[in-house]
Structure 1
Amino acid sequence: MDEFLKSIEKKIVKLSFKQQILFGVLSCEKLLPNYRQFSSAVNWGNIEILEEAIVMIYQYLQDIELNEGELDSIYEKIIEITPNVENFEGDLAAYALDTCSAVADAVEFLLSEDQSYVLNIASIVRDTIDMFIQESEELDIADENADQKIVQHEYMKRETKRQHEILRRLLGAEIDLPFISAMRDLNNSYGPIIELSLVS
């Protein structure tokens, strides 16, 4: 595990189950525009299924009961709309795949309460940005300075700050509707995680 994930894990393990869920779903929401762009560009997929999953998770956080069958059903729907990158040209499918993987992990977390799924979500968001930086900056991975360039890139620095700020605010917080709304506003204030206009 790299230093980024170690630092995130140290904070995640201190959170309650609901706090961990909120961290995960906020991160999933940052990825939704990537799937929406992909679906619109290739006329394939269904963003509404991912949005439905997000709504279900927020309902759970507000103590609206979800049964296992509902969670299993939405999970299967997510799998159905997850693109096989080999079937699509360009880079958008890879970003859409990451989005589906993160939302699926959020649903899996509700079912299993295995916090490794939350760590996976944090990692997926970071990997999405890593991929974007490599492509948009045309980085040569053979370059021994490539990793440092990625870490120092404005998008990666902003995402690292977002994740740590949210984790800091979650610690000890009561997960009620006003707090959820405030956290979603904070999440949105960080802007898009990648510049979709640069992705083809």
Structure 2
Amino acid sequence: MQDDIETQITGLSDKQKAVFAGLVCERLLPQYEAFCKAANWGSPAVYERGLEILYNSSLGEFHRAEAAALLEKLELVQPGLTDFTTPLTAYALDACIALEEALQFLIDKQESHLHNCATAATDSVEAFVQEYRSLSSDRRDAHAIVAADAFMQAELARQHRLLDALLALPDFDSADIHALRRLNGAGGIIDAAWLR
């Protein structure tokens, strides 16, 4: 299913790609916020500003300079895996990687950034499933278990649903983006309560 997502991303216009990246990152924000609260460190405001830049860019000219400036700020509030003891650190890092890739896309329009953004979300879900199911990485059936898990199925279905909706909207306005954000759903793509 991940290959299908990459194929669908290829069919999007640059502005549709910016919206898709914003939608992916928006659902990763709760895990970054949970980390910030647990670690008493970070800046959800920087992350939220990244979402604004993505959505605003999709409605007009890409905000390359703003994206570049925000990347510098994001780097300062992106956690290092060894710097914090909370198990939420890796999930916050995934969220930051997704936003970093999305902002990089605004700067250079390289499609690989969109694939990396979407993959950061599925990587986060994969790590979560392995953790809450206590799966050993050397289990032969670990990949199949993760792929069949409800959290992974929900994330892949969400990305497909959003891509299908975007492909049906060659032209869109702020009302369409609002409708896409409703379609995107609310809350995180993992259950951070399991990780405390």
Q: Same fold (TM over 0.5)?
A: yes
TM superposition score normalised by structure 2: 0.95
Check 1:69–1:20 CA distance in 2 against 1; reply closer, same or farther (3 A cut): closer
TM-superposed CA distance for 1:172, in Å, is 3.9
Q: What is the rounded CA distance, in whole Å, between the counterparts of 1:17 and 1:172 in structure 2?
A: 15
Q: Does structure 1 conserve the Cα–Cα contact (< 8 Å) formed by 2:125 and 2:189?
A: yes
Match of 1:73 in 2: 69
Q: Does structure 2 conserve the Cα–Cα contact (< 8 Å) formed by 1:5 and 1:119?
A: no
Counterpart residue type for residue 87 of structure 1: D
Output the aligned Cα RMSD.
1.3
Alignment of 1:106-185 (within 5 A): 106-173=102-169, 174-185=171-182
Match of 1:52 in 2: 49
SS of the counterpart of 2:82? helix
Match of 2:14 in 1: 17
SS of the counterpart of 2:185? helix
Counterpart residue type for residue 39 of structure 1: C
Match of 2:4 in 1: 7
TM-superposed CA distance for 1:118, in Å, is 0.4
Alignment of 1:23-34 (within 5 A): 23-34=20-31
User: Paired residues, what number?
Assistant: 195
Q: What is the rounded CA distance, in whole Å, between the counterparts of 2:92 and 2:188 in structure 1?
A: 15
TM-superposed CA distance for 1:64, in Å, is 6.3
Q: What is the rounded CA distance, in whole Å, between the counterparts of 2:143 and 2:192 in structure 1?
A: 22
TM-superposed CA distance for 1:65, in Å, is 6.3
Q: Does 1:193 align with 2:189?
A: yes
Alignment of 1:93-112 (within 5 A): 93-112=89-108
TM-superposed CA distance for 1:20, in Å, is 1.1
- Identity, in percent, stands at 33
Structure 2 gap ranges (5+): none
Q: Does structure 2 conserve the Cα–Cα contact (< 8 Å) formed by 1:15 and 1:172?
A: no
TM-superposed CA distance for 1:175, in Å, is 2.3
Deviations 1:152-188 (A, max 9, x none): 1000001111111111111141221111011000001
Match of 1:87 in 2: 83
Q: 1:38 aligns with which of 35, 53, 62?
A: 35
Deviations 1:63-114 (A, max 9, x none): 2663x33221101000110011101113211111111111111110000000
Q: What is the rounded CA distance, in whole Å, between the counterparts of 1:158 and 1:6 in structure 2?
A: 16
TM superposition score normalised by structure 1: 0.93
Q: What is the rounded CA distance, in whole Å, between the counterparts of 1:49 and 1:60 in structure 2?
A: 17
Deviations 1:100-148 (A, max 9, x none): 1111111100000001000001100000000000011101122111111
SS of the counterpart of 1:87? coil
Report which stretch shifted further, 5-14 or 110-119.
5-14
Check 1:155–1:65 CA distance in 2 against 1; reply closer, same or farther (3 A cut): closer
Q: Does structure 2 conserve the Cα–Cα contact (< 8 Å) formed by 1:18 and 1:175?
A: no
SS of the counterpart of 1:84? coil
